[in-house]
Amino acid sequence: MSQHKSLVAINLSVFLLMIGVGLIVAILPRRIMDLSASIADVGLLASAYAIPNLLLQIPVGKLADRFGFKGFIVGGYLLCGLSGLLYYFADTPFLFFGGRFFQGIAEVPIWALAPALLSIRYVSVKGAVMGAYNASLHCGLTLGGLLSMVVGRFWQGNEPFLLFTAMSTLGGVITVLWAEDPQRQTVNPTPSRRVGGKSLARVVNRMNLVVLAGTILYGAGYGIFITIVPAFLIDTHAAAPCAIGLYFTLFYLAVSLSQLLAGRWSDRWGRKPVMVIGLALAASGIAMFQRCPFSAAITVLALASLGLGMFCVSAMAFLNERVGETQKGGISGIFYFCWGGGYFLGPLLLGHSGASMGLTTGFGLFAGLIMAQLVAIIVTINQQRFALIPFGLPPERKNGIHDERP
């Protein structure tokens, strides 16, 4: 059990936090509308979160590579708790924006550094453990969204934000008590450690740029699925709130399931095939759902969500393997920097282009971009050496890195 302690602690912590996040994300827009009655102000909630989250990913990743992961992760949980207190006492839109800004800072190490930590502790099954982490995250979001429909019946004020604070703080306490930083190697920049000795920038400037371009599209797709798509369903199908709630539930469940399974698939069959299949599912679903009745549309969108999740975990594991042990936090920060850029710009660009040419055309163009990315990966990325093993897990690397199989 001791070898599983960090894995359980890190997954349980993010699951608890994301229950709280799923709860308040459903509540925040209504609070802003009650205070300002401005849809533009609601849009600022996304910007207040995305800007610090985007700008800090790479610096925090590099600092964690130097000083360790655990302290930054714990700090993220505690800062999330403080942002919940700011939400609770907020009585103006400005204070809510401030809380969202601090939440954006706080979630940087939680999203990026925890998977990097797991990838070092569990080297030979990194795809599986990183997928399990992202699945735990999205399962928490799913449960939090469902919980918001329950607490809304008897909590009409800011009480849910105190629950968010409690869940965040509990996640931090669990991480302090049971998560462990991996034993880190001292890396000598000798020719025998070619990948580990390269600068992070030099590694990223090679074939990894193709995968990072896909990561931008993944972030754009994620943002579009939680903003533009539900608005499209409401407009074209007159979808009721409960129907939109069902759509979000299917979305989070599909992403959770895909990341839980795709990590193990990519450990066994390689990162490239899972990335390609995931992009194919995402592009097909985005291109088709607009022509379907509502029940079929949300089913097709769930399959597209499955594809997005498959690409995410396999791309993250692929990039993680392309750098040395002392660069895991940095590459994870770059991954989420690209994800955040797509998350911020994707809905914005699709919304503006949809206003001029129609959302149906916009969705078709976005599906085309994903297919172009699929072709780029097929042409550019070479299959990883250990991924040719058809059965079982890849061989454990005999380089002294601490490895624990869950």
Are 229 and 221 in contact by the 8 Å Cβ rule? The answer is no
Domain ranges of the chain: 1-181, 196-387
The answer to whether 1-181 and 196-387 have equal CATH topology is: yes
Residue 232 CB coordination number (10 Å): 21
Structure token pair of residue 14? 């993010």
Distance of CA 310 to the CA centre of its chain: 12
The count of residues in the chain is 406
Are 128 and 394 in contact by the 8 Å Cβ rule? The answer is no
Nearest to 68 by CA among 177, 143, 144, 180: 180
Give the per-residue pLDDT at 199: 54
Give the per-residue pLDDT at 202: 55
Residues 6+ apart with CB under 8 A from 290: 232, 236, 297, 359, 360, 363
Q: How large is the angle between the packed helices 159-178 and 5-25, nearest 10 degrees? A: 170
Specify the amino acid at residue 303: L
Opening angle at CA 194, ends 193 and 200, nearest 5? 110
Domain 1-181 is of which CATH architecture? Up-down Bundle (1.20)
Nearest to 127 by CA among 267, 303, 300, 259: 267
* Residue 334 to residue 120: CA distance in whole angstroms: 17
Give the per-residue pLDDT at 385: 43
Structure token pair of residue 105? 């800072």
Give the per-residue pLDDT at 276: 96
Give the per-residue pLDDT at 119: 86
Are 359 and 350 in contact by the 8 Å Cβ rule? The answer is yes
Q: How large is the angle between the packed helices 70-89 and 93-121, nearest 10 degrees? A: 160
* Residue 395 to residue 124: CA distance in whole angstroms: 7
Are 168 and 80 in contact by the 8 Å Cβ rule? The answer is yes
Query: Which superfamily does CATH assign the domain made up of 196-387 to?
Result: MFS general substrate transporter like domains (1.20.1250.20)
Nearest to 110 by CA among 143, 85, 134: 134
Per residue of the chain (406 residues), give pLDDT as tens. Answer: 556 889 999 999 999 999 999 888 777 877 877 788 665 566 577 778 888 888 898 899 989 998 999 999 999 999 999 999 999 999 998 999 999 899 999 999 998 899 889 988 888 888 889 888 988 998 998 898 788 777 767 777 889 999 999 999 999 999 999 998 886 554 443 333 343 444 555 555 556 889 999 999 999 999 888 878 887 888 888 877 677 778 888 888 898 899 888 888 988 889 999 999 999 999 999 999 999 999 999 999 999 999 999 999 999 999 988 887 778 888 888 898 999 888 888 888 888 777 788 889 999 999 999 999 999 999 988 754 433 333 333 433 434 334 444 4
Residue 107 backbone zone (phi > 0: left; psi -120 to 50: alpha; other: beta):
alpha
**Phi, psi for residue 81 in degrees, rounded to 5:** -60, -40
Give the per-residue pLDDT at 204: 55
Give the per-residue pLDDT at 2: 59
- Please identify which residue in the block is written with the tokens 């190697």: 185
Question: Can you give the pTM of this predicted structure?
Answer: 0.77
Helix-strand-coil percent breakdown of the chain, rounded to 5?
Answer: 85, 0, 15
Cβ density class 77-105: b for 16+ within 10 Å, e for less: bbbbbbbbbbbbebeebeebbbbbbbbbb
Q: Give me the DSSP letters along 8-38.
A: HHHHHHHHHHHHHHHHHHTTHHHHHHHHH--
Structure token pair of residue 400? 């002294």
Distance of CA 285 to the CA centre of its chain: 20
